[in-house]
Amino acid sequence: MLDKNREVEDQQAQAEALALPELPEVPTTKVTFSPVTQDALDTFDEAYRQLRKQRRSLKRYHLADALFASLEDPEVMAAVIKRLR
């Protein structure tokens, strides 16, 4: 029975060692945020659209690079030439 109590105490001590320390309370104050303007939203939308276009073109470049890399293989090049004829 004493062994069981020691095991439980050891487990509790390990759990306490792993527990995060309590944080001191932070006084809450009134925080004000400036409203997001429509110009900022429009700027974000425009930047997001440009990034999506770049991503699409980047995918095309990766695909083209992969195709050119595969054409370096003589068997693939021969198959492409044969198919084009």
> 42-69: per-residue pLDDT in tens?
777 787 788 778 777 777 777 777 777 7
pLDDT at 21 over 70: no
The domain limits of the chain are 36-85
DSSP string of 62-84, one letter each residue = HHHHHHHHHHTSHHHHHHHHHHH
- How large is the average pLDDT for residues 4-26? 78
Greater model confidence, 47 or 26: 47
Type of residue numbered 3:
D
**Nearest-angstrom CA–CA distance, 43 and 78:** 50
Would you state the pLDDT for residue 71?
73
* Residue 10 in this model has a pLDDT that exceeds 70: yes
State whether the Cα torsion 67-69-75-78 is positive or negative. positive
